[in-house]
Amino acid sequence: MNMREIRALPAAAFAALALLVPITSAASAPGGFSEDEMKLAAGLLARHGVVVLAETTPEGGPKAMTLAVLVNAPREEVFKVFENPENFSFLSSLFKENKVEDSHGSSKAWTWASRHKLFSFTGTNTISLFPPRRVDIQIVNSTIGSGTFRFDLRESGKDRTLLVLSGILGVKSSDWIIRYLLGGNPAMQQAMNVAIGIVVVKGAKDMAERMVRGKPLGKRRVAGPAGGETRPCPAQELVALAPLLARGMVVLVDENKGGRLRQITAVESVAAPAARVLAAVSTPELYPKMVKAISDVKVGSKTDEATEFSWTLGFSVFNLSSRNRMTRTPDGVAIDGLDGDFAGARWRWQLAGADAGHTIVAYHGFVNIDATTYVLKMSLKREPYLEHGIMAGSNMVMLRAVRRAVEAR
């Protein structure tokens, strides 16, 4: 039976076939944290909402992602989130119409759909439960690709659980719309993985905490202000990230009270001296050479204290433009969106020289995404945590582009 014939099977028949695929062992999901890294992640979560490690292959493609979140609920209660896939629309509103098609012991196969005005995504997944410590999920057949994922549940103090998601979604078998939006860019593929991963772990946290408090499951809501002054990482925190930075890029998610995003911080070790990195990020005219999506950079007033410039960011289905002000900081540069689509946005490049040839680069940022375009506004209305995911993906792509440019010099 070839792939075309498999795709033509009815959902129930495909689900039954999916259960014949051996459920992979825990080691088969790429990524994950060691015991020491688990402790490091738990410490970071005392200050951040989500901790992410994004690993790449030697060729620059996405290798694995690992995300950690602290859930205020006992491990046994968090595990209940995964027991019935038909409730997964409460985990994320991106996944609707969840229906269990077949089951065998502790394993189930279910179908899902995410329907939009112009296109829809559908798929068949399998889930295997190992209570109360592990959940394995395979995306066996879907229009967004295929992949293997693992949830680890660790006790972390009284009535708290460290929830860790690891794995990777491959998009080679996805529908054309996904491949078109990603444009064959490996950094975009990794950013999409992390964006979806953040939505899922945040959704699982919310769902578990509502269940343990006896609140009914329903549409996820966030409230309160978003954004704020960018906060650099303490020097000791950047030093502590060394074990994770040796494996890949670290992403830290910070929220305001009420669940709105405060900022995303992407951190990476760059094989270039700090002066070279600073020269690149503080020169707007160089941005189009580093990032293909950036164009029409025009520098206005320029003094020793500040530089005003405008730019356009081109995406697959829309463009966004703004006028910005760049100012020097003691450890890098800060950029404020003055007007246009990014009015009120804040970005900050923070540099810490590890040695003469390496620099730890932290890129902090917030954009009021739901004020940019109607498409994004409606997306966030449907799934509020896309605010976190989209901003994380954007910062990852920008940092990776700068790293590639300065290391190539």
Q: Taking the domains of the chain in order of start, what are their residue ranges?
A: 3-34+63-212, 235-408
Choose among 263, 231, 346: nearest CA to 50: 263
Distance, in Å, from the CA atom of 51 to the CA atom of 180, rounded to the nearest integer, reads 29
Residues 6+ apart with CB under 8 A from 357: 271, 272, 273
Q: Look over the chain and give the mean of its residue pLDDT values, rounded to a whole number.
A: 89
Domain 235-408 in the same topology as domain 3-34+63-212: yes
| Burial status of residue 347 (CB atoms within 10 A of its CB: 0-12, 13-18, 19 or more) | buried
Read off the tokens for 83: 């027991």
The neighbour count for residue 231, using CB atoms within 10 Å, is 14
* Residue-level pLDDT at 120: 80
The neighbour count for residue 304, using CB atoms within 10 Å, is 6
Classify the C-alpha dihedral 17-18-19-22 as positive or negative.
Answer: positive
Question: Coil, strand, or helix at residue 41?
Answer: helix
Distance, in Å, from the CA atom of 275 to the CA atom of 272, rounded to the nearest integer, reads 8
Has residue 19 got a pLDDT over 90? no
CATH number of 3-34+63-212: 3.30.530.20
For residue 146, the cross-strand partners are 170
Q: Express each pLDDT in 85-96 by its tens digit.
A: 999 999 988 888
Whether 167 and 148 have beta carbons less than 8 Å apart is answered as yes
Is residue 248 very low, low, confident or very high in pLDDT (cuts 50, 70, 90)? Answer: very high
Residues 6+ apart with CB under 8 A from 256: 224, 225, 226, 227, 228, 262
Has residue 149 got a pLDDT over 70? yes
H or E segment at 302?
A: strand 294-302
Distance, in Å, from the CA atom of 143 to the CA atom of 171, rounded to the nearest integer, reads 9
* Residue-level pLDDT at 316: 62
Has residue 18 got a pLDDT over 80? no
Distance, in Å, from the CA atom of 271 to the CA atom of 276, rounded to the nearest integer, reads 10
CATH number of 235-408: 3.30.530.20
Q: What percent of the chain has pLDDT over 70?
A: 89
Residue whose token pair is 């975009």: 188
Q: Express each pLDDT in 61-111 by its tens digit.
A: 899 999 999 999 999 999 999 999 999 999 988 888 999 999 999 999 999
Write b or e for each residue in 370-382: b if 16 or more Cβ atoms lie within 10 A of its Cβ, otherwise e: bebbeebeebbee
